[in-house]
Structure 1
Amino acid sequence: MSNLSQDAMQQLFSDARTHSHWQPRSIEDSLLQALYEQAKWGPTSMNCQPMRLVFVKSPEAKEKLKQALAPGNVDKTMNAPVTVIVATDMTFYEGMPRLFPANANARDMFANNTALAEATALRNATLQGGYLILAARALGLDCGPMSGFNADLVNDLFFAGTAIKANFLINLGYGLSDKVYPRGPRYDFDEVCTIT
């Protein structure tokens, strides 16, 4: 495996920004499908894949989501071409016989241990949401991830009667780069990392 070019690394990491203001450009459904097709390959523990996605795109779905948004997130979400509800299937283990056939006991290991299942589901769905952000950036989209929303209301509005729970939101589109906030500082390696 070879290194990505510096330009590619900058697109994914150092030049990429969190966006709140959007160009009036739509996102085709085919691009959303391509986005998932890239993000799905990121690793999860025991290939459990608990992330579930709702691409909120239609005016009707946007209005429904609007009810659950914190006031500071309303305008940027209503103006984004697409908002992704990154959610977690708390009964992800039902798919383990298909997804991880190497371990015949994988389903029961989680089904019989609620604490392990919940921790595994949340950890891995969040990890997959990170892959989704990188895949979106790789495909030329800008992202605005958010946690300012009423998760219980989103669950009622979009996942009623299921074991799927909202984790976080990502606005997707083509950002207005002249309207991003100044870049926030980052910790240096020696401040947060240890090599032992």
Structure 2
Amino acid sequence: MGTGPRPPRRDRAAAALPGHRPGPAVRAVRGRGPVLSEGRGAVRTVEGATLKLAGDAQDLLFREARSATEFTDDPVTDEQVAAIYDLVKYGPTSLNQQPLRMVLVRSPAARARLLPFLDARNRTRTEAAPLPIILAADVNFHEKLPVVFPHAAGLRDALHGDPRRRAEGARYNALLQIGYLIVGVRAAGLGAGPMIGYDPAGLDREFFPDGGLRSLLVMNIGVPRPKRHERLPRLSYDEVVTVL
């Protein structure tokens, strides 16, 4: 047996996890809560607790994933999109509302209809992207509540007479679902490039003339090309979290 110095106990526990690669330890500061150190690929530990997700998966979903603006020519299949949705549909929402609607812009004719509503830079990106998707909120999501939230009798009828509340709920919960969708795209080994630089009123008139769907953003997905610049900084734990 060696007699050299041993790493702190919490670091030894983290090293036993699948996918762990050595990285700076996490320390706790009295009165300030846990302080997360930077270090790519490290499984974070806080006072003996660990993230259950393997380090490689953490990297795939967050640390090494980037917003994608350029893609390879590899296609994105309907089967891939279906697999992504079948995973991310389990993300939590208020009252289990599921207002997100996805329009896959596959045909050249549909792409030609979409491009004029995008800002110039986003238009160039979308022309070359394997698959643009229009992400919209269904303001009539309440019609599905008897199926997805069956134990709340009367909720559909209550929301039917409150269009303002429906519109707010649709937007809020669809944006939550978009966040899950971006992570799901990364889980499939693809990149996501969400864009808000477009004419929403014009796009909605073109694609959703009955007013039931309201676009939130356009997102390109595909196999991403390597980024040409380093990742921008993120705020630290101490800059974001307040402990009362």
TM-score range, shorter chain: over 0.9
Which residue of the partner structure matches residue 17 of structure 1?
66
Higher helix share: 1
2: CA distance, partners of 1:69 / 1:112: 34
Q: Which amino acid aligns with 1:97?
A: P
Candidates 87, 97, 108, aligned match of 2:146: 97
1:23-172 → structure 2 map (5 Å cutoff): 23-172=72-221
Deviation at 1:113, TM superposition (A): 2.4
Deviation at 1:112, TM superposition (A): 2.5
Q: Which amino acid aligns with 1:35?
A: I
The one-character-per-residue Cα deviations of 1:67-94 (angstroms, maximum 9, x if unpaired) are 1100111111111100111100011111
Candidates 233, 236, 240, aligned match of 1:188: 236
TM-score, length-normalised on structure 2? 0.76
SS in 2 for 1:172: strand
The one-character-per-residue Cα deviations of 1:4-46 (angstroms, maximum 9, x if unpaired) are 1010011101110011111111111111111211121111111
2: CA distance, partners of 1:169 / 1:193: 31
1: CA distance, partners of 2:220 / 2:137: 18
2: CA distance, partners of 1:97 / 1:144: 34
SS in 2 for 1:165: strand
Sequence identity percentage = 36
SS in 2 for 1:167: strand
SS in 2 for 1:85: strand
Q: Which amino acid aligns with 2:217?
A: F
Structure 2: gaps spanning 5 or more residues: 1-50
SS in 2 for 1:67: helix
Q: Give runs of ≥4 in structure 1 deviating > 6 Å.
A: none
1: CA distance, partners of 2:230 / 2:123: 21
Which is further off, 74-83 or 186-195?
186-195
The one-character-per-residue Cα deviations of 1:75-131 (angstroms, maximum 9, x if unpaired) are 111111001111000111111111111100221232232332222111100000111
2: CA distance, partners of 1:100 / 1:48: 8
Whose Rg is larger?
A: 2
1: CA distance, partners of 2:191 / 2:147: 33
Q: Which amino acid aligns with 1:149?
A: Y
TM-score, length-normalised on structure 1? 0.94
